[in-house]
Amino acid sequence: MISVLAQERLLGAALGSIFTGVVVFAQRRSIYGTIAENQSQITPQSQMGEPIFGEKSHFELAQLWNKAVDQTLGPVIESLSSRGW
């Protein structure tokens, strides 16, 4: 039989995994939505000369990813830092 402490840890791990999955999904959706908006604003003439995933697109994606991670994990990091972790 599993002890109460082990059940609590298992429940915490499961809930943490679910929460992380939801956050990652929401952030990816936001990032891809922003990329789609940016690409829809590009005129067809300028789009012909540039590959779909050019150097600029990779740079923008990296910036959006970093911003999403900072927004998502910033409060958690601050909370852990204030507790001395």
Token match 């540039």: residue? Answer: 50
Q: Which amino acid type is present at position 53?
A: F
Q: What is the pLDDT of residue 28?
A: 93
Q: What is the pLDDT of residue 70?
A: 87
Total domain count, the chain: 1
Instruction: Tell me the mean pLDDT in the region 19-31.
Output: 93
Residues 56-65: b if buried by 16+ CB within 10 A, e if exposed: eeeeeeeebe
Tokens of 72: 């998502």
Reply yes or no on whether the pLDDT at 81 is more than 80: yes
Tokens of 5: 């402490």
Distance CA 24, CA 48 (A): 32
| Three-class secondary structure of residue 3 per DSSP | coil
Domain that holds residue 19: 4-82
Single pTM value for the model: 0.42
